Amino acid sequence: MSIRAIFRNRENKWRTGWRIVAMFVLLAGVVMGVNAGWRGLGLPGQNDTGPWLFMVFATLVAGSAFAVIVLLLRFFEQRGPAAIGMPFVANAWKTTAAGTLLGAVPICLTLGFAVLAGYGTVSPGSMNFASLLPVLLPMLIAGFFLAAWEEFVLRGYLLRQLSIGINPAAAVVITAALFGLMHSGNPGANWQGLVYTALGGMLMGWMVIRTGSLWLMIGYHFGWNATASGLFGLELSGFEEDGSLFDSSLHGSDWLTGGSYGFEASLPTMIAEVLVLSVALRLVGKSRSASTGD
């Protein structure tokens, strides 16, 4: 085998493995660069920043990661963000908004069931609408960008490269497993939470494959986080944020509440997400069949 064949395939295109290695190397570089620049300016650490500074930090990380993905797409494929389902078109915001509403549904179903079953409570929270601008608004913006960067790295660029290099089914499974493992270092992480997170990631990956839209899943991811944390004040992936419009709590067995990891490790949450995304996938399939006349 020649040296060239190690890097390029028979079509003279860069091999999938090198495309993925380049992504991880560049992402690690820019994230370390953002952190180094942040510390160099004498700014407080992520855990000590106020909501506005945290918003700036999240925007810098997401913007840097997006720049890396665009650079890689241009270099390896001579294509733009539309290749990963992020075309910058006029109705992109509508797709993202639809995804945000979709992401809110499993949370509402889970919490509604908990209240009706008697192991959950919802009461007015510490936030009010007067607090939106100084606290909740920047946290929501930060949450959007943090959800976005996970999506265009995992279910955007990585999902695309694995789909090309192996096949879409394997790509969905691999990115879902990585999605679960990414949460393994979170406070209170348990096996249920990681498995359920990976399962949700699998359905989200299939949604991207079926719709061709990453905007939809960016909205879904953001809608899930914003509804759980900003609206209902639920512990999110082991983290408990300060301030929400409502205060919610779950009491009972770990399989109902998720235990130390929070509601995302609970069986009702897993069932709600599987149900919602399965129905959405079914509707997408019917919509495509109708549009093609199949």
* pLDDT tens profile 221-262: 999 999 999 889 898 886 777 677 889 999 999 999 998 888
Q: What is the mean pLDDT of residues 186-193?
A: 85
Please report whether residue 78 resides in a domain: no
Predicted confidence (pLDDT) per residue in 193-210, tens digit: 899 999 999 999 999 999
* Residue 76, domain member (yes or no): no
- Does residue 1 lie in a domain region? no
Q: Give the angle 212-171-167 at the CA atoms, nearest 5°.
A: 85
Q: What is the pLDDT of residue 240?
A: 73
Q: Which amino acid is at 52?
A: W
Integer Rg of the chain from CA:
20
At 176 the pLDDT is 96
Q: How many domains does the chain have?
A: 1
CA distance 161 to 61: 22
pTM, 2 dp = 0.92
Flag whether pLDDT at 164 surpasses 50: yes
Residue 275 lies in a domain: yes
* 237 located within any domain: yes
| Distance, CA of 104 to CA of 107 (rounded, Å) | 5
Q: What is the pLDDT of residue 41?
A: 87
What residues make up the domain containing 137?
89-292
Average pLDDT, the chain: 89
pLDDT greater than 80 at residue 47? no
Q: Is residue 284 part of a domain?
A: yes
Query: Under a CB-based contact definition with an 8 Å cutoff, are residues 51 and 142 in contact?
Result: yes
Q: Is the confidence at residue 292, as pLDDT, over 50?
A: no
Helix and strand numbers, DSSP H then E, in the chain: 11, 2
| 3-class secondary structure, 14 | strand
Give the C-alpha separation, 288 to 135, whole Å. Answer: 41
Across 61-84, average pLDDT:
95
In a domain, 149, yes or no: yes
Q: Is residue 56 part of a domain?
A: no
Assess whether pLDDT exceeds 90 at residue 65: yes
Task: Look at the block and give the residue holding tokens 């149900």.
Answer: 275
84-103: b (≥16 Cβ within 10 Å) or e: bbbbeeeebeebbebbbebb
Predicted confidence at residue 46, as pLDDT, reads: 64
